[in-house]
Amino acid sequence: MSKLKLYYDVVSPYSWFGVELLMRYKSRWPSVQFELVPFSLGGVMQLSENQPPATNPKKGAQMLKEINFLKGMYDVDIGYPKDFPQLTLHAQRILTALRLQKSDKLEAASKAFWKLYWRDEKSITSKEDLFAYLAPIVGKEHATKLVEVDSQTPQVKQELIRVTKEAVEVHGAFGAPWIVCEREGKEAMAFFGSDKVEAIAYYFGVKYEGPCPPGYKQSKL
Ligand SMILES: N[C@@H](CCC(=O)N[C@@H](CS)C(=O)NCC(=O)O)C(=O)O
């Protein structure tokens, strides 16, 4: 079996592109097992002694231009938050709790948080906003529990730290999205960025049909 592990943080617009583009291939590449792993990009930056690209004004300006261009090419309804960056720790802990609960809502909840922050310019640190975007996906009761209780347990906090360290120390991560690919009989390979989907298809020996493969569904809230 081939495996693809996608580490991401909702603070990262390229992680949104990565999750959107790769998940469009989930049913098209049945030989590949997909796993979404929320991690802490702030933690990755610290542990790998890297700097967020937007801290360099030239990189930040170029990133903004490219995101604006890529949103059309990738068909992802992204904007640019006025208040950037904000701390995504609470959001990432909620997603980690969903992952530990083996919830099939992890992908939808992650996309909802990107929409909250990157499309609708709401606050990713606000409990009310997190709840408002989570409730339509998991139901009001589960959303309250995730925001108030599940995301605050020592187990969830520790798991977010564990996977962040794993991404850096085991898989060499220094940014997001970080995509670790394994195929039987082949050396494992990690890829940095949402622009590596074609390379990932080549690694797995599966067909790549562009960022918007025929019949793909745009994710709607
Ligand atoms: N070319 C990559 C860029 C990804 C990227 O810049 N990711 C940011 C977070 S949004 C990052 O972690 N950068 C670290 C670095 O550039 O060293 C893509 O298309 O996805």
Q: At residue 104, does pLDDT exceed 90?
A: yes
92-117 average pLDDT score: 98
Q: What percent of the chain has pLDDT over 90?
A: 92
**Residue 180: strand pairing partners:** 5, 190
Question: What is the H or E stretch that residue 189 is in?
Answer: strand 189-192
Non-local CB neighbours of 182 within 8 Å, separated by 6+ positions: 2, 3, 4, 188
d(CA 135, CA 74): 27
- 63 CA closest ligand 1 atom index: 6
- 70 CA closest ligand 1 atom index: 19
79-90 average pLDDT score: 92
pLDDT digits 0-9 by tens, 109-137: 999 999 999 999 999 999 999 999 999 99
- The pLDDT value given to residue 82: 84
CB-CB contact of 132 with 138 (8 Å):
no
The larger pLDDT score, comparing residue 64 to residue 220, is at 64
- Percentage helix, strand, coil for the chain under 3-state DSSP, each rounded to 5: 55, 10, 35
Distance 45 CA to ligand 1 centre (A): 11
- The pLDDT value given to residue 54: 87
- The pLDDT value given to residue 142: 98
- The pLDDT value given to residue 219: 59
Q: Is 27 a catalytic residue?
A: no
3-17 average pLDDT score: 98
- Measured from the CB, is residue 195 less than 6 Å from ligand 1? yes
How many Cα atoms within 13 Å fall on the side-chain side of residue 131? Answer: 11
Complex ipTM: 0.99
Q: Which CATH class for the 2-204 domain?
A: alpha beta
- 41 CA closest ligand 1 atom index: 12
Non-local CB neighbours of 206 within 8 Å, separated by 6+ positions: 25, 28, 29, 31, 32
Ligand 1 pocket mutation pick from 6, 7, 12, 71 by most atoms within 8 angstroms of CB: 12
d(CA 37, CA 9): 9
Highest mean pLDDT pick, 2-11, 50-59, 212-221:
2-11
The DSSP 8-state label assigned to residue 115 in this structure reads: I
166-184 average pLDDT score: 98
204-211 average pLDDT score: 98
69-86 average pLDDT score: 93
- Measured from the CB, is residue 76 less than 6 Å from ligand 1? no
80-85 average pLDDT score: 88
Q: How does the average pLDDT of the chain come out, rounded?
A: 96
Q: At residue 221, does pLDDT exceed 60?
A: no
57-75 average pLDDT score: 95
Distance 23 CA to ligand 1 centre (A): 19
Q: At residue 68, does pLDDT exceed 70?
A: yes
Q: At residue 180, does pLDDT exceed 60?
A: yes
- The pLDDT value given to residue 220: 54
The domain ranges of the chain are 2-204
Ligand 1 pocket mutation pick from 69, 73, 114, 192 by most atoms within 8 angstroms of CB: 192
- The pLDDT value given to residue 83: 87
- Measured from the CB, is residue 53 less than 6 Å from ligand 1? yes
